[in-house]
Structure 1
Amino acid sequence: MTKQAIVLAAGKGTRMKSDLPKVLFEACGRPMLSYVIDVLERSGVERIIVVVGYRAELVRAALADRSSVIFVEQTEQLGTGHAVMMCHEALQGHTGPVVIVTGDSPLLQQSSIERLLDDFATDHPACLLGTLRKDDPSGLGRIVRDEAGNFVGIVEEKDATDRQRAITEVNMSTYVFDTIELLGALDQLTDDNRQREYYITDCPGILKRAGKQVRALAVLQPCESLSVNTLDDLKIVEDEMRKLNY
């Protein structure tokens, strides 16, 4: 049973004000994407599917020496779910866990991925979300639970009630899916939303409604909440990396 991962690395990163693919911006002297691949490899992931799109040849070249990596191309940017849908053929015939993370998260922690994979191996849910408790959850999707503490769903901030906005547990786009269950959920994914895009965040809900086990574990570290959308964000991430002795 091979441990696999999908890394979303197709975006341009318009707000970075450069022609470079976002994941290739350097943090502390190395492309952000390199740190993500390192963590996955050290966590025991044997096969890493990197979804490329904008200036794909540069991303391929940056990872040319990584024997664990294969590439899948997303020619149209139609959302995170669409990016994962492009991996359908690469996932066929495989069983076991598939980790899904973004390529612009250089502070992804090995301990978080290992904890999620260990929990998956013990409990074997259809989907496991790695979440974070954050004092200021502004702008992030909230993790809704029932009175017993079981995962109910992800609510984006723009759709949240006042009560849901008060939730401090947030989704950070870090998942472990059972490969077969993921493929089934992708088959049901639609673009029935304002942006006409396919979102990977819809997959846990699809599985939950089908009666499958979906769980959320608040195992991510505070540093993993730092996302990079602008050059100023990148500086903040680099400062944190230096504090953590990267």
Structure 2
Amino acid sequence: MTTQIVILAAGMGSRLGRSLPKPLTELSDGRTIMQQQFDNIDHAFGKAAQVTIVVGYKLEHIIEAFPQASFVYNEEYDQTNTSKSLLRALQASATGGVLWMNGDVVFDPAILDRAAAMMARDQSFVTVNTDKVSDEEVKYTTSAEGYIKELSKTVKNGLGEAVGINYVSSADKAVLMRQLTKVGDQDYFERGIELAIEQNSMLVEPVNISDFYAVEVDFAEDLERANLFV
């Protein structure tokens, strides 16, 4: 069965200060961030993976670098955030669940092995790291049953950080799409998840990947940290 995977790569990534889209930033091993993601996807899913990239800023560079992928265009990439990029990707997806990731995350390939086990159950999840809880990152809390309760940058007393690799099940996808339609243009996709949990009782499991590395590259120091692992 085909595994549907989305990479969100429409943004301008201005904080890193590079001329190319941030996912095309070169790592110390010579690969780009997105090439490392593709290698990780191939490791976990092989030929079963169908990758769709949401493009916007300088899209021709990404399309040229990864011609094997499918592409969805967020023409409002400079006016909208990841909620609207994910919405476009889910609208274009086929029947079934979808794994998605931010296009600026450098991560251990073993994370997708752990994710694959959850995907086989068709269970919606968010990968999390409980080792640190930074103010500027998306944080989470859980319900008494252990499912995600809150998920945003403003969460108080967060249990950890969301890593930026997530899955929506086939049963939950329509609900998430409806909520992504409602959220503001500048909202992150996590707001859609949070509303689906709050208003539609969507069950989203936290998948702890603290024993692996995952670095979201926003600033030069993040890139330095990511290069320690690859």
Matches within 5 A, 1:56-205: 56-64=59-67, 66=68, 69-77=69-77, 78-92=80-94, 94-95=95-96, 97-106=97-106, 108-122=107-121, 124-125=122-123, 127-156=124-153, 159-161=154-156, 164=157, 167-179=158-170, 181-190=172-181, 196-205=185-194
Residue 202 of structure 1: how far off its partner (Å): 2.0
Take 1:210 and 1:231, find their aligned partners in 2: how far apart are those partners?
39
| Greater Cα offset, 11-20 or 178-187 | 178-187
Q: Give unmatched runs, 5+ long, in structure 1.
A: none
Greater CA radius of gyration, 1 or 2?
1
Take 2:208 and 2:36, find their aligned partners in 1: how far apart are those partners?
22
CA contact (8 A) 1:207 1:214 kept: no
Residue 27 of structure 1: how far off its partner (Å): 0.3
Take 1:55 and 1:31, find their aligned partners in 2: how far apart are those partners?
16
What SS class does the counterpart of residue 167 from structure 2 fall into?
Answer: strand
CA contact (8 A) 1:141 1:171 kept: yes
What SS class does the counterpart of residue 137 from structure 2 fall into?
Answer: coil
**Amino acid paired to 2:200:** A
Take 2:87 and 2:8, find their aligned partners in 1: how far apart are those partners?
11
* Alignment root-mean-square deviation, CA: 2.2
TM-score normalised by structure 1 residue count:
0.81
Task: Quote the residue 2:8 is aligned against.
Answer: 8
1:49 alignment partner, one of 49, 52, 73: 52
Residue 189 of structure 1: how far off its partner (Å): 2.4
CA contact (8 A) 2:125 2:167 kept: yes
What SS class does the counterpart of residue 131 from structure 1 fall into?
Answer: strand
Determine if the alignment matches structure 1 residue 230 to structure 2 residue 219.
yes
Residue 147 of structure 1: how far off its partner (Å): 3.5
How many residue pairs get matched?
224
Q: Give unmatched runs, 5+ long, in structure 2.
A: none
Residue 31 of structure 1: how far off its partner (Å): 1.2
TM-score normalised by structure 2 residue count:
0.87
Take 2:210 and 2:41, find their aligned partners in 1: how far apart are those partners?
15
Q: Deviations over 1:150-188 (max 9, x none)?
A: 3212142xx334xx2xx3421122101114522332123
Residue 59 of structure 1: how far off its partner (Å): 0.5
Using the aligned pairs only, state the percent identity. Answer: 19
Task: Quote the residue 2:37 is aligned against.
Answer: 36
Take 2:3 and 2:212, find their aligned partners in 1: how far apart are those partners?
26
Residue 227 of structure 1: how far off its partner (Å): 2.2
